[in-house]
Amino acid sequence: MPAVHHRTATIDGHQVFYREAGSREHPTVLLLHGYPTSSHMFRGLIPALADRYHVLAPDHLGFGRSDAPPADEFDYGFDALTTITEQLLDRLDVRECAILVQDYGAPVGWRLALRRPERITAIISQNGNAYEAGFVPEFWAPIWDYAADPAPENEQAVRGALGIEAIRWQYLHGVPDPSLVSPDTWHHDHALLSRPGNDAVQLRLFRDYPSNVALYPRVHEYFRDSRVPLLAVWGGNDEIFGPDGARAFAEDLPDAEIHLLDAGHFALESHLDTATDLIRDFLARTLLAAA
């Protein structure tokens, strides 16, 4: 089993935690996590890829074991999270990488691609949305309302997402056999999300989410112009980003490979082996073949 290293780097005065495995002589695969988790969600995938690839998985600022400066000291938003990630890649001299994006990792990944399209060699999306078609209305309505008007009643509606039961639901909904999902996942996420002042951080990111939707036309143009190889490994039972979000990639990338798994939002928790096989096959045909 390849060794996985747990490291930190000081980026713009903040400690950024990241997991790293595999030889730096191999093609790099950057894993970008979603809400409310961290690089912890990739703990099984990292060693499964590291025999052939250099694998990096950072924790976004405000998540996991990275610093979480107060919201009045850091301008939280998806642009800022992308800048931190970009600076980490520069620090580690990563000039090219494939990206695997999930949930919040997607808008970070799309911004990386728009800023430096030559850096991105391939894309894997595991329930990482790039189209309005993917939004499940019942889940997103409170977030849109809060972003439009942060009135106390709208804030209260989204604060529920910070609680342990809401996080547990994110892991278990749509999973045919919930016993496959370790309870450690939602307890781990909730503990780190509950650091003092972190609620204000997450509320700031909720309010910034519409900026990602506004970016979608540029993302679609990037897809069409670059023809970047893309694999969607999608939990087809996700009630946050529904399966139409996966199918939509084919609108701008006709050669996109789309696989809907009998899984929920965090498909790697219940279908790691299936997802790993699809990811390894895709990377072998894109990164290794090109090399």
Q: Which residues are catalytic?
A: 265
Task: Please tell me the distance from the alpha carbon of residue 197 to that of residue 208, in angstroms, as a whole number.
Answer: 18
Phi/psi of residue 50, nearest 5 degrees: -75, -10
In eight-state DSSP terms, residue 60 is P
The tokens of 203 are what? 């509320």
User: Which residues have CB under 8 Å from 137's CB, separation 6+?
Assistant: none
Dihedral sign, CA of 129, 42, 29, 79? positive
The tokens of 286 are what? 């894109």
Task: Please tell me the distance from the alpha carbon of residue 289 to that of residue 223, in angstroms, as a whole number.
Answer: 21
Backbone φ/ψ region at 137: left (φ over 0), alpha (ψ -120 to 50), beta:
alpha
Check: CB of residue 175 under 8 Å from CB of residue 237: yes
